[in-house]
Amino acid sequence: MKWPCGNLTLHIIKMHEDSLLLIFNEAIKHAFIMRLLVSSLLSPRHLLMASSQRVLALIVEEIAIDEPNKTVRKKLLARYEDN
């Protein structure tokens, strides 16, 4: 199939999927860094803390939704549930 930027293949689709996972992993790291910084400056009840927790939860949930293995999905969700 011809695509505006070249031929579309399953390899290209997989490459984009892998790129998204890297972005998610970076986003998780940044969410943890934000939480660490916020917790060192502000009260745990501060809105910025809730905001970083919400962002982290959304990212992890998106990764878990795409995980085909139920066991891995449950472990992933459990790992970040308390964070």
Q: How does pLDDT run across 60-73, given as a tens digit for each residue?
A: 888 888 888 888 88
For the segment 45-66, the average pLDDT, to the nearest whole number, is: 80
Domain count, the chain: 1
> Are the beta carbons of 55 and 83 closer than 8 angstroms?
no
For the segment 34-44, the average pLDDT, to the nearest whole number, is: 81
pLDDT of residue 4: 63
pTM comes to 0.58
Expressed as residue numbers, the domain containing 35 is 2-81
Structure tokens at 38: 């916020």
For the segment 15-41, the average pLDDT, to the nearest whole number, is: 81
pLDDT of residue 32: 81
User: What is the Cα–Cα distance from 50 to 54, expressed in whole angstroms?
Assistant: 6
Q: Is the dihedral of CA 42, 47, 48, 50 positive or negative?
A: positive
Return the bridge partners of 2, or none: 7
User: What is the Cα–Cα distance from 43 to 72, expressed in whole angstroms?
Assistant: 33
Instruction: Tell whether the model's pLDDT for residue 54 goes beyond 60.
Output: yes
Instruction: Tell whether the model's pLDDT for residue 36 goes beyond 80.
Output: yes
